[in-house]
Amino acid sequence: MLEKVYEELALKRQELRRRFAEWAERGQIERYASNWNSFVPEPLQEPCAGVDGSFNHCQYRSAVLYAVNACACAHLGGELREYPRAEVDLLPPAFAREILELRMARMELQCALDVHEDVELVMLDGSLHSALSAPRTWWRFIPAARAERLVELAEQGSGEAESDEERLLLEYIAYLQTLQRLLEHAGVEKLVFISKSSTDSTLLKGIPDQAVYEALSPAPGYSRPREKLLHHRFPVHEQLFRSLVFTTFYARLEPGRSVLRVELPREAGEAELRRLLGVLYSVCVEGYPYPLRKAHSRVVVTGRHMSMIAAAVGVTEKTGREVLG
Amino acid sequence: MSERLGLCIGEADTRHVSIVAERAPEVGEYAIVEYDGLRVLAVVEEVSRGSASLPERLLSAETVERIVRIEGAGEQYIRARLRLLGEAESLSMVKLPPPPGAPVYRADTETLRRIFSSGNIKLGTLLSHPEVEVYVDANRMVTRHLAVLAITGAGKSNTVSVLIDGLLRLGGMPVVFDMHSEYAGAEFSGEVRVIQPKLNPRYMLYSELRRLVNIDDKAYIQERYLREAHRHALSAGGSMIDEMLAYLEEVYSSQELSSAEKNSVSGVMNKLQDFRERYGEILDEHAPEMVELLAPGALNVVDLGEVDEDYADVIVSHLLRKLLLKRKRREVAPAFCVLEEAHILAPAYRSTLSKYWIDRIAREGRKFGVGLCLVSQRPKSLDPNSLSQANNAIIMRLVEPSDQRHVQQASERLSDELLAQLSSLNTGEAVVLGLMTRLPALVRIMKFSGKLAGGDPDVVAEWQQRLRREKRERESLKREVEDLYSGLE
């Protein structure tokens, strides 16, 4: 079945193994050792929450059946309280994945809004900077005047899309509006974005910074923080988003555990980073904040869940993949 | 309404359903599943408990500790698997499985009493519902036989005593083949009659005698002389063996016999003398027929405690044979024969005299009112034919898997789930199953209110008693010596 793949693998196995190992062996990562601060955090107990979301969908001939959910798990002194949200519905097939990504992200922000008053720190999965920097190429297919009109309507809460791109724009606007609300109500001081894996590469060409710090040392600590800005166009609240300063750094909370990418939507000094690491450390399990891990475990929508949902709806329509047997 | 145990989940069939429980039910606990206007009785077979936050893949105690610290008690789940036993009123089979979401309640006492308290011998209480007394049906216990199986010390003697006491209260006729002299000095609700294990050769059948004298049925010449000697001795009166030997001596002296025939006669005489020597301990020319000594309403104890296993085998086979015969003629009351150490009398892999009659009674006893109670701590050594004829069983703690398998092969009613319970039962707890109870049950056997003579001896007390006696003797001797010396001074 996969004979050709195996043949290719047999030919290249040694080379692949070498390439995996060589980048770290060339002695090129040592020059970044000074970027890394070995630091064992002092645990700092503080009510905090982790937020994560997930979606899955099944494309039928006429529509996409989807499930989106998100959950905030708040650690409130010996108790873990949940703030879940979910949506099951149909979508037109065009741009379904893009819309669902935005909807999930919005739902995560809504969960953060649900929980922020009960905690001192809200941890969200991923990177806000990456989310806001993602290219929105579809936007250019909407005439500028129509886009402006849609923004106006959306701000009044009454936008009606006339094309697939417009639907996507409205979804994007809804996401940005929710983000603006979160920034306004929770404040940037309460938010931290944590990525398990990141492809940001500023040190070695083509090698993510996370891999470099992972290879440098197994000790707990954090990297020298960097600041990032946004120069993108936004259909709403552009001034707010462009004014944000993102402080990013990498951190390992426990010896030998994974290096995480940490991002704060604000300027932050070293003392503040160390304090934050203390809070994260106090709730970390196997090197990762437990509320985030718990939130992740609560939201994963698997293929089995989708099959169950489809069975419950009683979908008889074809997906087109039946022909594959 | 009783306490709710939980709700049905997943895919059920007409025999099993899983529930997510609101509190941890006990294995063996009875439940009522309500659906479609039905009340279905079920028993908890498995209980599992876990936490999605603490899955098995976690390998570090520190990680678990951290999660518990952050999450507190966390969200734990309790699930149970129930076996559906039948509609609660009639115990008739369920034709439709319960739907997911159907509520499950702890079975109410009234329902359980209707099912388990309807027999006529009280055995104990349900393990999971101590307020419900368990009775067994004496008729079905006697006519369909019973096996009481457990490791030593699990409570077999107590269980048998409870049953015997129950039978005595009903005017029954229990007969105990008492291998350890436990019952001879015991106190029961009725009279305890101790029957000495003595065989009068006069009451032995010819075929029985021939086997004990060890004359093969192929040795037809010897067999003919033995038969003639037996016939002669029966009509002559006096000592059977002496009469037989005298008759054979007379035949031997006859001038008409060829030397080959004389050899045969002398062979029979030798074997007869061997027989008298070998079984001298249990042969008594004046002993009454044992079966005639059996009395209804009394516990009839055949005390085999001081008799070798071979002799016990002869006694048991003789009495069982006579009893079956007498019952066929309705000359004796229905009897319930308790065979202690049944694996010795009816072993799996060798032949004994008793094994044949145990098997016969196991097959025919039902029609004639002779019941068997096979008691054994080594079920795997017990004849599987006899064991499989026991349609009732009280199985207490059995640890050895081979014993468990043997019992399961012999008893179709012993499910895998009940089998799994056997190794974890405590002393006095038993799985009770068979026709004598309407449903298999986990039972705490009540304590026998009378007194048994047996039990484990207090060896330490005996040793200490001897030490004290020796010390007293030494001190007394010392005093005597001192007195003697003081007298001399």
CB contact under 8 A, A291 and B66: no
Does a structural domain hold residue B451?
Answer: no
Does a structural domain hold residue B115?
Answer: no
CATH code where residue A249 lies: 3.30.2170
Enclosing domain of residue B259: 201-278
How much is the average pLDDT of B140-167? 92
Tell me: do B190 and B313 sit in the same domain.
Answer: yes
Instruction: Name the residue facing A80 among B60, B63, B70 (closest C-beta).
Output: B70
ipTM over 0.85: no
Instruction: Name the residue facing B63 among A79, A283, A285 (closest C-beta).
Output: A285
Does a structural domain hold residue B450?
Answer: no
How much is the average pLDDT of B29-57? 91
What residues in A contact B100, CB-CB < 8 Å? none
Burial (CB count within 10 angstroms: exposed 0-12, middle 13-18, buried 19+), residue A239: exposed
Chain A residue with Cα closest to B55? A297
Tell me: do B93 and B205 sit in the same domain.
Answer: no
**Lookup: tokens for B456:** 């484990």
What residues in A contact B53, CB-CB < 8 Å? 294, 297
Does a structural domain hold residue B137?
Answer: yes
Within a 10 A sphere around the Cβ of A145, how many other Cβ atoms?
A: 8
Tell me: do B177 and B69 sit in the same domain.
Answer: no
A145-149, B251-255, B359-363, B415-419 — which one is most confidently predicted on average? B359-363
Q: How far is CA A143 from CA A161, A185, B1, B13, B237, in A?
A: 13, 33, 69, 61, 132
- Report yes or no: B396 and B430 within 8 Å, Cβ to Cβ: yes
pLDDT digits (tens, 9 = 90+) for B190-216: 899 999 888 888 888 888 888 888 888
Does a structural domain hold residue B312?
Answer: yes
Does a structural domain hold residue A274?
Answer: yes
Of B477, B455, B461, nearest to B152 by C-alpha is: B455
Q: How far is CA B123 from CA B118, B430, B436, in A?
A: 12, 10, 11
CA distance A100 to B9: 31
Chain A residue with Cα closest to B72? A78
pLDDT of residue B455: 59
Does a structural domain hold residue A17?
Answer: no
Tell me: do B378 and B330 sit in the same domain.
Answer: yes
What residues in A contact B71, CB-CB < 8 Å? 75, 79-80, 290, 294
pLDDT of residue B457: 66
Mean pLDDT of chain A: 92
CB contact under 8 A, A285 and B74: no
A12 to chain B, minimum CA–CA distance in Å? 34
Measured N-to-C along each axis, helices B206-213 and B220-236 cross at an angle, to the nearest 10 degrees, of: 130
Query: Residue B181: which region, alpha, beta or left (left: phi > 0; alpha: psi -120 to 50)?
Result: left
Domain count, chain B: 3
For residue B462, name the pLDDT band (cuts at 50, 70, 90): confident
Computed from CA positions of residues B139, B144, B150, B152, in that sequence, does the dihedral angle turn out positive or negative? positive
Of B133, B140, B122, B134, nearest to B189 by C-alpha is: B122
* DSSP symbols for A251-279: EE-STTSPPEEEEESS---HHHHHHHHHH
How much is the average pLDDT of B479-486? 85
Tell me: do B221 and B175 sit in the same domain.
Answer: no
Longest dimension (CA), chain A: 61
Chain B residue with Cα closest to A285? B63
Does a structural domain hold residue B479?
Answer: no
What residues in A contact B70, CB-CB < 8 Å? 75, 78, 80, 283, 285, 290-291
Residue B73: is its pLDDT beyond 70?
no
Secondary structure element (H or E) that encloses residue B121, with its range: strand B121-126
Residue type, A36: W
Tell me: do B294 and B394 sit in the same domain.
Answer: yes
CATH code where residue B381 lies: 3.40.50.300
Question: Which percentage of chain A shows pLDDT scores above 90?
Answer: 72
For residue A27, name the pLDDT band (cuts at 50, 70, 90): confident
What residues in A contact B52, CB-CB < 8 Å? 297
Pairing relationship of beta strands B335-339 and B133-136 according to DSSP bridges? unpaired
Does a structural domain hold residue B122?
Answer: no
Tell me: do B164 and B309 sit in the same domain.
Answer: yes
Cβ density class A106-139: b for 16+ within 10 Å, e for less: bbbbbbbbbbbeebebbbbbbbbbbbbeeebebe
Taking the alpha carbons at both ends of chain A, their separation in whole angstroms is 15
How much is the average pLDDT of B30-42? 96
Which residues 23-62 of B are in CB contact (within 8 Å) with A? 52-53, 60
Residue A161: is its pLDDT beyond 70?
yes
Measured N-to-C along each axis, helices B309-328 and B353-368 cross at an angle, to the nearest 10 degrees, of: 30
pLDDT digits (tens, 9 = 90+) for A54-96: 999 999 989 999 999 999 999 997 788 999 999 999 999 999 9
**Lookup: tokens for B281:** 């301990």
Tell me: do B299 and B319 sit in the same domain.
Answer: yes
CA distance B272 to B266: 10
CATH code where residue B101 lies: 2.40.30
Of B288, B290, B287, nearest to B195 by C-alpha is: B290
* B459/A36: higher pLDDT: A36
Tell me: do B192 and B294 sit in the same domain.
Answer: yes
Does a structural domain hold residue B467?
Answer: no
Tell me: do B306 and B415 sit in the same domain.
Answer: yes
Tell me: do B398 and B341 sit in the same domain.
Answer: yes
CB contact under 8 A, A79 and B72: yes
Does a structural domain hold residue A192?
Answer: yes
B68 to chain A, minimum CA–CA distance in Å? 8
For tokens 């990762």, name the residue. A288
CB contact under 8 A, A80 and B72: yes
Domain count, chain A: 1
Q: Partners of A70 in the beta sheet?
A: A53, A85
Residue B16: φ, ψ to 5°: -135, 150
Residue B335: is its pLDDT beyond 70?
yes
For residue B410, name the pLDDT band (cuts at 50, 70, 90): confident
Does a structural domain hold residue A77?
Answer: yes
For residue A111, name the pLDDT band (cuts at 50, 70, 90): very high
Q: Give the list of residues 6+ apart from residue B52 with CB closer than 8 angstroms, or none.
A: A297, B75, B77
For residue A139, name the pLDDT band (cuts at 50, 70, 90): confident
CB contact under 8 A, A290 and B71: yes
Does a structural domain hold residue A134?
Answer: yes
pLDDT of residue B489: 67
Enclosing domain of residue A291: 38-324
Tell me: do B66 and B33 sit in the same domain.
Answer: yes
pLDDT of residue B1: 65
pLDDT of residue B443: 93
pLDDT of residue B278: 85
What residues in B contact A290, CB-CB < 8 Å? 66-67, 70-71
How much is the average pLDDT of A186-213? 93
What residues in B contact A80, CB-CB < 8 Å? 70-72, 74
Which residues 317-356 of B are in CB contact (within 8 Å) with A? none
Query: Residue B134: which region, alpha, beta or left (left: phi > 0; alpha: psi -120 to 50)?
Result: beta
pLDDT of residue B425: 86
Measured N-to-C along each axis, helices B206-213 and B309-328 cross at an angle, to the nearest 10 degrees, of: 170
What residues in B contact A79, CB-CB < 8 Å? 71-72
Does a structural domain hold residue A26?
Answer: no
pLDDT of residue A277: 97
Does a structural domain hold residue A3?
Answer: no
**In B254-329, alpha helices (H):** 259-278, 290-293, 309-328
